Structure 1
Amino acid sequence: MSRVDLNLLMALDALLSERSVTRAARRLKLSVSAMSRTLTRLREVTGDRLLLQAGRTLVLTPYAEQLSQRVPALAREAEATLSRPEHRFDVATLKQRFTLRTGEGFIDLLGATLTDRIHRAAPGVQLRFAPKADWDAQPLRDGLIDLEIGIVKTAAPEIRTRLLFRDRYVGVCRIGHPLLRNRVVNVERWSAYGHVMTSRTGDAESPIDAALESPGLRRQVRMVVASYTSAMQLARHSDLLAVVPQSCLGNAFMSDYAASNGLQGFELPLDIPAFNISAIWHPRLDHDPAHRWFRAEVQELCTEAYPPHPTLDSSRPCP
C-alpha cells in the first residue's frame, strides 16, 4: 500500500464537497498553495482532472461526480477507524449486552433500578445477570463475564477492581421474633437460637463462627444455603436467625425492603469487620469506552444506593 495516502482521501473529500481550492484549504487548515499541490497529486493518483474551471467556479468531472457519492462515507470511516475509541463512542446508539456476575441480593435490590438507568441512556443495551457460583476469575479472562460485583476473592494478579461501597454483616429475623423482645441482643441469647448459614461452597464455617471462638460459644447451624436471599426467606418463615450483609436489607431506593418482606435487622453481638463491595473486571476492558461508561453508571448507582449506614436499632424494622 505504498501509494495509499489517507491524507489525500481527506483532501479529496474536502475538494469534492467544497468545489473550491480556497474553501477546501480553509476547511483543512492548509494554505491555498498547499491545497493546489494536493489537487495536483490527486490528479496524478486518480488519472482524472477531478475539478475543472468553469468561469469563476470549479465543476466536477464525471468521474469526480461518481467519487462524490462514495468518498464522504469512506473519509468518515477512515477517520473513525484511526481515531481514539472515545471519539467515536455514542452511548445513545450503543447496541451491546453486558454480562454481570452478582449475588441475588444485588439483583433483587438494584437490578431493576440499574436496568432502567441504563435503558434511559442507551436503549440498545441489554443486561444479563449470570449466577455467582464462585469467585473464579477465568470467566472474566475468557470474556464470558464483563463485570463482577462483590467481594474480591481472586488471586489473579491482572484483575482490576474499584470500590463501590463498604458493607458489614448484620443479624436478621422475622418481625416479632422473641430474640428482640429485649432491646439488647447479647451473644448468649443470639447463639442459643437456631441459625441458617449462607455458604456458596457449602462450608459450615464463616467469619461469624471464627468470632464466636473467643467467647467459647458455638451457634446452632440447622441449615446451610447458597444465597443470602434464601437465608432471609427461611428466617422470615421461621424462628431461625440469619446473618447477611446490611446491603441486603434495603437501600436509599428501597428503604422499606426488609420490613415489607417481614424481616427485621439487628446489630450482631460480635465484632465482625466491615468489608468492601467492588466492581471487578479484566484489564482488556480498561479503555473500552462502552465498558468505562457502564462501570461509571454502576458506581454512581451504588454510591447513591448505599451511603454510609447508620447503626441498626433492633427495636424497629431495619431501614
Structure 2
Amino acid sequence: MSTPDFNLLLTLDVLLAEGSVARAAQRLGLSPSAMSRALARLREATGDPLLVRAGRGLVATPRAIEMRERVARLVQDAEAVLRPAEKVNLRQLARTFTLRTRDGFVGNFGPALIARTNEEAPGVRLRFVPKLSKDNAPLREGVVDLEVGVVGDTASPELRTRALFQDRFIGVVRAGHALEREEITPSRYAAGRHILVSRRGRDRGVIDEALKPLMLEREIATMVGGFSTALALARASDLIATVPERHTGNLRTGMFGFPLPFSTPAITVSMLWHPRMDADAAHRWLRACILDVCAEQAVTLIG
C-alpha cells in the first residue's frame, strides 16, 4: 500500500470550505489547473467524486459533507503541532515532575521550591527520588525530568546543564562540642572521629585526599549514604560531619559549623536535563523556579 500524500489534506480542507476550484486555488496560491489536478488525485485517493457540478457551480457529495468537519480538525491539529509551543497556563497545569537529587538538596531547598511551585501552579506535584548513582539513563529514558548534583566526568555530553550555585565543604558538630571552644587547626580537625558520606561505600573521600599533603589522616568512625544522615548523627554525638555548606543550610540549624582549616576543591552544583525537554514550556518554568529558589537562598545566607 502506497503512503498517502498528507499535503492533500490541506487541499481537501480548502476545497470543501470554498466549494469552488477557482476560489480554493486563489486561497492556496495555485493555478486553477493545478487545483483541478489536485482534485483529481483526491477523487482517486478517496474513491469519491467529492465535488460534482450542479448548474454553474459545484456541490459536495454526501461523503464530502461527512468528512468536512473531520478534515478541518485534522488540519487544525497538524497546524497546532507545527506551531511553536504557546506559553503554558500555570493555573491550569496538571503535571508531576520527577527530580533526582541528594537528600541535602531536598531538605534545604525543597520546602521553598514546593511553596513556589504550589503558589504559581497548584496542579503541579514534585516527586523527589534519591540520587543513588551517577547513571544518566533515567534522564534519557524519561523516568526522571531533572537532576540536581555535581556534573561528573561520567555525565553524558548530550545532556543540558545549568550551574545553580558554588559550594564548599565545612565541618559541623553539635552545639557545645569541644571544637567550638578553641581554634580549629588541621591537626585538631583530623584528631576527631569522623562521619564519611559516600553513596558508593568508599572508605576514603575528597577530604582525606586534601589531608594527605599535610601528613594527616582522620579516623572514620562510620559511613553513611547522605548528608542529612551525617548531620543527624553529628547532632546526637561527638562525631564530626563534613558537608557542603549551602547544600545543608537548613539541616544545620542549631549546630556549630566551621570552615575547614585546609584547602578543598570548590563544588559546582548544577541541574541536568535531557535536550528533548529544552523547549517544553512547563519544564522551562520549573527550571526557572529552581534557579530563583537557589538564588534566594544565597541572598539569605549572605545576608
Normalised by the size of structure 1, how large is the TM-score? Answer: 0.73
- 2:49 corresponds in structure 1 to 48
Q: Distance in 2 between matches of 1:226 and 1:90?
A: 40
Q: Please state how far the C-alpha of 1:230 moved relative to its aligned partner.
A: 0.7
Q: 1:286 aligns with which of 270, 275, 278?
A: 275
Q: From the superposition, tell whether residues 157 and 88 of structure 1 become closer, same or farther in structure 2 (CA, over 3 Å).
A: closer
**1:190-243 deviation digits (Å, cap 9, x = unpaired):** 333332221112222111112122222233432221100111122223333211
Contact 1:136/1:154 (<8 A) preserved:
no
Q: Distance in 2 between matches of 1:123 and 1:15?
A: 45
Q: Please state how far the C-alpha of 1:280 moved relative to its aligned partner.
A: 3.9
Structure 1 letter corresponding to 2:209? A
Matched, 1:221 2:193: no
Q: Please state how far the C-alpha of 1:10 moved relative to its aligned partner.
A: 0.8
Q: From the superposition, tell whether residues 136 and 308 of structure 1 become closer, same or farther in structure 2 (CA, over 3 Å).
A: same
Q: From the superposition, tell whether residues 44 and 269 of structure 1 become closer, same or farther in structure 2 (CA, over 3 Å).
A: same
Matched, 1:190 2:178: no
Contact 1:163/1:276 (<8 A) preserved:
no
CA RMSD, Structure 1 to Structure 2 (Å): 3.9
Structure 1 letter corresponding to 2:17? S
Q: Distance in 2 between matches of 1:122 and 1:116?
A: 10
**1:77-121 deviation digits (Å, cap 9, x = unpaired):** 55567x4xx746775587765443211112223334445555677
Contact 1:104/1:227 (<8 A) preserved:
yes
For 2:200, what is the secondary structure of its paired residue? Answer: coil
For this pair of structures, how many residues does the alignment match? 297
Structure 1 letter corresponding to 2:259? E
Q: From the superposition, tell whether residues 95 and 271 of structure 1 become closer, same or farther in structure 2 (CA, over 3 Å).
A: same
Contact 1:91/1:121 (<8 A) preserved:
no
Q: Please state how far the C-alpha of 1:169 moved relative to its aligned partner.
A: 1.1
For 1:244, what is the secondary structure of its paired residue? Answer: strand
Q: Describe how 1:115-154 pairs up with structure 2 within 5 A.
A: 115=114, 126-140=125-139, 144-153=143-152
Contact 2:231/2:251 (<8 A) preserved:
no
Q: Distance in 2 between matches of 1:289 and 1:24?
A: 39
- 1:164 corresponds in structure 2 to 163
Q: Which moved more, 1:25-34 or 1:229-238?
A: 25-34
- 2:260 corresponds in structure 1 to 268
Q: Describe how 1:63-78 pairs up with structure 2 within 5 A.
A: 63-78=63-78
Structure 1 letter corresponding to 2:71? V
- 2:210 corresponds in structure 1 to 211
Q: Please state how far the C-alpha of 1:146 moved relative to its aligned partner.
A: 4.4
For 2:171, what is the secondary structure of its paired residue? Answer: strand
Work out the percentage of aligned pairs sharing the same amino acid: 40
Contact 2:117/2:289 (<8 A) preserved:
no
Q: Please state how far the C-alpha of 1:279 moved relative to its aligned partner.
A: 3.2
- 1:244 corresponds in structure 2 to 243
Contact 1:19/1:51 (<8 A) preserved:
no
Q: From the superposition, tell whether residues 138 and 164 of structure 1 become closer, same or farther in structure 2 (CA, over 3 Å).
A: same
Q: Which moved more, 1:201-210 or 1:12-21?
A: 12-21
Q: Please state how far the C-alpha of 1:274 moved relative to its aligned partner.
A: 0.4
Q: Please state how far the C-alpha of 1:162 moved relative to its aligned partner.
A: 1.4
Matched, 1:60 2:60: yes
Contact 2:85/2:281 (<8 A) preserved:
no
Q: Which moved more, 1:44-53 or 1:162-171?
A: 44-53
Contact 2:96/2:126 (<8 A) preserved:
yes
- 1:314 corresponds in structure 2 to none
**1:127-161 deviation digits (Å, cap 9, x = unpaired):** 43322222234545655444432123453655525
- 2:38 corresponds in structure 1 to 38
Structure 2 letter corresponding to 1:233? A
Q: From the superposition, tell whether residues 172 and 30 of structure 1 become closer, same or farther in structure 2 (CA, over 3 Å).
A: farther
- 1:303 corresponds in structure 2 to 291
Contact 1:101/1:131 (<8 A) preserved:
yes
Q: From the superposition, tell whether residues 54 and 236 of structure 1 become closer, same or farther in structure 2 (CA, over 3 Å).
A: farther
Q: Distance in 2 between matches of 1:309 and 1:77?
A: 43
For 2:147, what is the secondary structure of its paired residue? Answer: strand
Gaps of 5+ in 1: 251-256, 311-316
Q: Distance in 2 between matches of 1:143 and 1:38?
A: 42
Structure 2 letter corresponding to 1:286? P
Q: From the superposition, tell whether residues 136 and 58 of structure 1 become closer, same or farther in structure 2 (CA, over 3 Å).
A: same
Q: Distance in 2 between matches of 1:289 and 1:16?
A: 39
